Amino acid sequence: MDRKISEKNRDFFEQVYQVVVLIPKGRVTSYGAIANYLGAKSGARMVGWAMNAAHSRPEVPAHRVVNRSGLLTGKHHFPAERPMQEQLEAEGVRIVEDQVQEFDKLFWDPSKEIEDLSH
DNA sequence: TGTTTGACCGGTC
DNA sequence: CGACCGGCCAAAC
């Protein structure tokens, strides 16, 4: 198999960002799925850290990343004027009680959807 | 430099 | 279903 994303990427955060930005509108993925795609060597927690640092990356739709249950666990890290749920619903994602509805349908697995990142 | 914490995950009880 | 534990790695203290 080809290298994860690109060998030019040295920083784990950069790798996470590249995956997250590719999440289609109206779709969601999980921290673990991203970690898994990156080789599961870093652990899902690091993805969370990457998101924490993603504030300096406006291009990174962190709201499309939820935990394995489809729960908006990181919503408290979003600006009050633009909550995580609001951004997701604006993309057509239905959410009830911080829970993404039809999570199994909207789930976007990078290891399955991404074929080539050298675009 | 050692300990704690973290937007997590999977398994166990 | 809720609580707990070990693992994973990096940043903060």
Q: Calculate ∠ Cα A32-A26-A100, nearest 5°.
A: 60
Phi-psi region at A115: left, alpha or beta (left = phi > 0; alpha = psi -120 to 50): alpha
CA distance A59 to A47: 16
Residue pLDDT tens, chain A, 119 long? 444 434 444 578 888 999 999 999 999 999 999 999 988 777 889 999 999 989 888 999 999 999 999 999 999 999 989 999 999 999 999 999 999 999 999 999 999 988 765 55
Q: Which CATH number fits domain A7-112: 1.10.10.10, 3.40.630.40, 3.40.640.10, 1.10.1840.10?
A: 1.10.10.10
Lookup: nucleotide whose C1' is closest to A50 CA:
B7
CB < 7 Å to strand C — which of 45-74 in chain A?
45-46, 49
CA nearest to A15, candidates A23, A6, A27, A24: A6
Using a 7 Å CB cut-off, which residues contact strand B? A 30-33, 35, 43-49, 51-52, 54-55, 62-63, 65, 67-69, 73-74, 76-78, 84
Phi-psi region at A16: left, alpha or beta (left = phi > 0; alpha = psi -120 to 50): alpha
CA of A103 to C1' of B13 (A): 28
- Measuring alpha carbon to C1', the residue closest to nucleotide B7 is A74
Lookup: nucleotide whose C1' is closest to A41 CA:
C8
Nucleotides of strand B within 7 Å of the protein's CB atoms = 6-10
CA of A89 to C1' of C11 (A): 32
Report field, pTM of the whole predicted structure over 0.95: no
